[in-house]
């Protein structure tokens, strides 16, 4: 009798990847692998355990991660600390504090820093006290080890504003920032501290913001100006902000304009008008001009002084500047700007038409409705959805509210989503029939986002009518929507009767190939120039293979940059062009013309386009299959200038085909969004990109190139 073949040996890394994607511990296998095998196996298993939801996987996973804090390998220990922060389990606070105390030698500072970061993500008073103490852990009145103190400075940013420990932590951070004056070269600590003080709008940090605004470091100046914009202004701060409009770093100038706009500072009008003519650096001057117009639009008495600037901007070469000026004119002049807005609504450039759609929010409802009726039928989906978004301002108007209800049944799911979002915060019983129809009829791409917005509306309505809608949503096939609906229903009534939770749809068993050798690189060719990224397959393997596979299919060819927030982020890669779309490498490609991108670019319109019956195929009806959304692969690498990340919605496991690239450090994204690449060439191109620019193609860079 022949000897049967030996069973194939399963690669433990493949098993870990599969269970991580399933959000499963493999019936305890991940806990076993976290303490056995090679260092790489233990590291991956620990990381996968950290990505398991706390609600479903409790003490056994947390205990395994606590044990891994004592692993013989420092990398495993640091991964375990980060993983514990991702889980946010209050029962692990003492173990993390103990690990900080035990790590006394200088070689353990990285572990101490990771433990401080983890504690900052746990909603527990003991954790918050430990993070605050880490600012001055070594010597009384002097900063502690820089890496530990820096993590503590950022960690305080995550404290709930209402936490009893928050005020004391903010005061300690102000003291810490002042102490850094004795170490003026510690730029890394200073920008982090100012970032947190700015995000928390700490009035007591005014002096530190003012000092930071004149720093030789652009990063320090950026966060110092954000701080001055977050707190009440005074003559000294206004003077600093006006001066920084001429900063040599365009990002700093943008923050100065943003801050002046927040304060509606009349004395800033002349300086802002001068900033609208800025021409350096040539690749990024349009960002400063745009921010200056946006700021002018928020200053009530700027209209007369800005009139000539608004006229000039109509012929600006940058569509983003023209759009910003159109909206600013609407803010300042109201109906007096109607003629300019109507002209912009007919502009050949969709970015300018989208600016007209946004401007309509600042007109009286009757005038806005006429514009919105036209723009919601625009062949460009970004213009159409922006028009519906603008309706939110006028949602109390009966005619516009009626139109929004109709749009909940629109052919395009993106329009449905915008309508649901515009209505949800003011939802009433009268809106229920339209919401129910949208919930039960929306299928395909963006359907989970539409359902999630309807859940918010039902929670706002409340009572038995709201519960009826939430019970329907509680059996939604999207797991996130179902969980959200169930939680909202129980918040309305703790004893609410709910249908049995649906079985989550089975995920694809296709795994990314194992990575070996140097990290892959890709070239992103745009209409402004070329960007080169190094991808990070060891840290985010699913996201890396998603980008490479979609690029090989030509998915990104001809897609637009649909979102740019100066001194924050550039975003693109959506075939729809409005930021609502996306597919994944494992899902079925968009059907019909949508896969080629023709329909979603508006190039395949039938003769009924202006009646809103437009796009051919199934693309505009939202029937195209999105495929498995990407699970979040959150890691410890911080977002910095040129980081490549994955956009998502409120569901942390909702990644698709879109990408974003950051203009600067963005610590509020750390550990909350997947980072899967770093820009290594083309920073000037990154600075130049604006809304409407195209990604011509994405292709891999040959090894050694």
Instruction: Note the pLDDT tens digit of each residue in 460-480.
Output: 999 999 999 999 999 999 999
Per-residue pLDDT band for 516 (boundaries 50, 70, 90) equals confident
Contact 582, 557 (CB under 8 A): no
pTM for the structure as a whole = 0.92
User: In the 8-state DSSP scheme, what is residue 615?
Assistant: B
pLDDT score for 539:
96
What residue ranges define each of the domains in the chain, with the CATH number in brackets? 12-172 (1.25.10.10), 395-496 (1.25.10), 521-587+626-701 (2.40.100.10)
Residue bearing the bigger pLDDT, 588 or 297? 297
Diameter over CA atoms, the chain: 98
Q: Helices 187-199 and 146-155: crossing angle, nearest 10°?
A: 10
What's the angle, vertex CA 213, arms to CA 208 and CA 215, rounded to 5?
A: 95
d(CA 557, CA 554): 5
Per-residue pLDDT band for 138 (boundaries 50, 70, 90) equals low
Instruction: Note the pLDDT tens digit of each residue in 543-587.
Output: 999 999 999 999 999 999 999 999 999 999 999 999 998 889 876
Per the structure block, which two tokens stand in for 167? 């005020």
d(CA 679, CA 661): 8
Per the structure block, which two tokens stand in for 418? 């915008």
pLDDT score for 471:
97
Q: How many CA within 13 A on the CB side of residue 697?
A: 6
What does the mean pLDDT of the chain come to? 90
The pLDDT of 414-433, averaged and rounded, is 96
The pLDDT of 259-267, averaged and rounded, is 94
The pLDDT of 283-305, averaged and rounded, is 95
Per-residue pLDDT band for 229 (boundaries 50, 70, 90) equals very high
Query: Which residues lie closer than 8 Å to 695 by C-beta, 6 or more apart?
Result: 524, 525, 526, 556, 557, 558, 559, 560, 561, 572, 573
Instruction: Note the pLDDT tens digit of each residue in 98-130.
Output: 999 887 666 688 999 999 999 999 999 999 999
pLDDT score for 586:
78
Rg (CA), the chain: 26
Per the structure block, which two tokens stand in for 220? 């320090």
The pLDDT of 324-340, averaged and rounded, is 96
pLDDT score for 101:
87
Per-residue pLDDT band for 2 (boundaries 50, 70, 90) equals low
Query: Which residues lie closer than 8 Å to 483 by C-beta, 6 or more apart?
Result: none
Q: Counting Cβ atoms within 10 Å, is residue 346 exposed (0-12), middle (13-18) or buried (19+)?
A: exposed
Contact 154, 195 (CB under 8 A): yes
Lowest mean pLDDT among 139-153, 295-309, 688-702: 139-153
d(CA 173, CA 184): 16
DSSP state letters, 103-159: --SGGGHHHHHHHHHHHHTS--HHHHHHHHHGGGSSBTTB---HHHHHHHHHHGGGS
pLDDT score for 501:
85
Query: The dihedral of CA 310, 311, 316, 322: what is its sign?
Result: positive
Length of the chain: 705
pLDDT score for 106:
64
Contact 547, 380 (CB under 8 A): no
pLDDT score for 104:
65
Pick the closest to residue 531 from 678, 391, 415, 337 (CA basis). 678
The pLDDT of 683-693, averaged and rounded, is 98
Contact 289, 254 (CB under 8 A): no
The label of the residue with tokens 């969709």 reads: 350
Per-residue pLDDT band for 603 (boundaries 50, 70, 90) equals very low
Pick the closest to residue 200 from 219, 180, 172 (CA basis). 172
pLDDT score for 507:
83
Query: Which residues lie closer than 8 Å to 704 by C-beta, 6 or more apart?
Result: none
Is pLDDT of 610 > 60? Answer: no
Is pLDDT of 628 > 50? Answer: yes
The label of the residue with tokens 């040539």 reads: 282
pLDDT score for 467:
97
DSSP state letters, 563-603: EEETTTEEEEEESSSSS-----TTSPPPPTHHHHTTGGGT-
The pLDDT of 437-447, averaged and rounded, is 94
Is pLDDT of 607 > 60? Answer: no
pLDDT score for 601:
29
Cβ density class 616-649: b for 16+ within 10 Å, e for less: bbbbbebbbebbbbbbbbbbbeebbbbbbbbbbb
pLDDT score for 162:
95
pLDDT score for 37:
85
What percent of the residues of the chain are helix, what percent strand, and what percent coil, each to the nearest 5?
A: 55, 10, 35
The pLDDT of 236-255, averaged and rounded, is 98
pLDDT score for 3:
59
The percent of residues above 70 in pLDDT, for the chain, comes to: 91
DSSP state letters, 457-525: HHHHH-HHHHHHHHHHHTT-SSHHHHHHHHHHHHHH-TT---PPPPPPPPPP---PPPP-SSPPEEEEE
The pLDDT of 476-485, averaged and rounded, is 95
Per-residue pLDDT band for 705 (boundaries 50, 70, 90) equals low
pLDDT score for 46:
98
Contact 448, 415 (CB under 8 A): no
What's the angle, vertex CA 76, arms to CA 48 and CA 57, rounded to 5?
A: 30
């Amino acid at each position: 009798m022949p000897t049967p073949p030996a069973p194939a040996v399963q690669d433990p890394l493949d098993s870990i990847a599969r269970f991580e994607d399933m959000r499963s511990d493999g019936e305890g296998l991940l806990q076993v692998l976290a303490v056995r095998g090679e260092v790489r196996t233990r590291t991956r298993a620990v990381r996968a355990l950290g990505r398991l939801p706390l609600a479903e996987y409790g003490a056994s996973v947390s205990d395994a991660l606590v044990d891994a804090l004592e692993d013989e390998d420092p990398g495993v220990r640091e991964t375990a600390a980060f993983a514990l922060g991702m889980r946010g389990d209050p029962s692990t606070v003492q173990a993390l504090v103990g690990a900080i105390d035990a790590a006394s030698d200088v070689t353990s500072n990285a572990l101490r820093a990771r433990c401080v970061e983890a504690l900052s993500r746990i909603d527990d008073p003991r954790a918050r006290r430990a993070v605050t103490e880490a600012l001055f852990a070594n010597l009384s009145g002097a900063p502690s080890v820089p890496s530990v103190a820096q993590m503590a400075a950022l960690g305080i940013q995550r404290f709930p504003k209402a936490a009893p420990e928050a005020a004391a932590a903010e005061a300690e951070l102000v003291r810490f920032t002042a102490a850094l004056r004795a170490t003026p070269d510690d730029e890394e600590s200073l920008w982090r501290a100012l970032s947190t003080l700015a995000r928390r709008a700490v009035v007591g940090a005014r002096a530190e913001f003012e000092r930071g605004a004149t720093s030789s470091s652009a990063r320090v100046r950026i966060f110092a100006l954000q701080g001055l914009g977050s707190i009440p202004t005074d003559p000294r701060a206004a003077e600093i902000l006006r001066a920084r409009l001429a900063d040599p770093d365009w990002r700093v100038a943008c923050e100065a304009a943003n801050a002046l706009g927040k304060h509606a500072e009349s004395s800033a009008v002349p300086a802002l008008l001068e900033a609208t003519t800025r021409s350096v650096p040539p690749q990024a001057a349009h960002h400063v001009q745009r921010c200056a117009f946006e700021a002018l639009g928020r200053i009530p008495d700027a209209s007369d002084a800005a009139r000539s600037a608004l006229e000039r901007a109509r012929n600006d070469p940058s569509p983003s500047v023209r759009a910003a000026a159109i909206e600013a004119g609407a803010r300042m002049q109201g109906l007096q700007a109607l003629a300019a807005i109507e002209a912009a609504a007919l502009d050949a450039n969709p970015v300018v038409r989208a600016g007209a759609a946004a401007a309509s929010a600042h007109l009286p409802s009757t005038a806005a409705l006429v514009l919105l009726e036209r723009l919601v039928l625009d062949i460009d989906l970004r213009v159409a959805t922006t028009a519906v978004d603008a309706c939110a301002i006028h949602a109390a108007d009966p005619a516009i509210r009626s139109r929004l209800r109709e749009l909940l049944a629109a052919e395009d799911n993106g329009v449905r989503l915008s309508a649901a979002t515009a209505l949800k915060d003011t939802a009433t019983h009268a809106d229920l029939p339209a919401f129910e129809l949208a919930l039960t009829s929306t299928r395909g791409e963006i359907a989970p986002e539409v359902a999630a917005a309807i859940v918010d509306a039902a929670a706002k309505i409340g009572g038995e009518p709201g519960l009826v809608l939430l019970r329907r949503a509680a059996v939604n096939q999207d797991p996130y929507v179902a969980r959200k609906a169930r939680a909202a229903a129980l918040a309305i009534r703790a004893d609410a009767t709910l249908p049995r939770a649906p079985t989550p749809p089975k995920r694809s068993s296709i795994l990314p190939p194992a990575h070996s050798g140097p990290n892959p690189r890709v070239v992103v060719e745009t209409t402004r120039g070329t960007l080169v990224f190094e991808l990070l397959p060891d840290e985010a393997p699913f996201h890396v293979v998603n980008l490479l596979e979609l690029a090989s299919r030509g998915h990104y060819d001809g897609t637009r940059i649909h979102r740019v927030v100066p001194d924050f982020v550039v975003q693109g890669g959506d075939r729809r062009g409005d930021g609502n779309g996306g597919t994944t490498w494992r899902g079925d490609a968009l059907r019909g013309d949508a896969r080629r991108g023709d329909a979603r670019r508006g190039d395949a319109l039938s003769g009924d386009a202006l009646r809103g019956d437009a796009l051919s195929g199934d693309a505009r009806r939202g029937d195209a299959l999105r495929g498995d959304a990407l699970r979040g692969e959150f890691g410890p690498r911080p977002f910095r200038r040129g980081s490549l990340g994955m956009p998502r919605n409120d569901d942390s496991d909702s990644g698709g085909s879109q990408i974003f690239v950051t203009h600067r450090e963005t610590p509020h994204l750390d550990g909350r969004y997947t980072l899967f690449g770093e820009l290594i060439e083309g920073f000037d191109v990154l600075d130049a990109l604006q809304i409407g620019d195209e990604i011509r193609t994405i292709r891999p860079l040959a090894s050694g190139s």
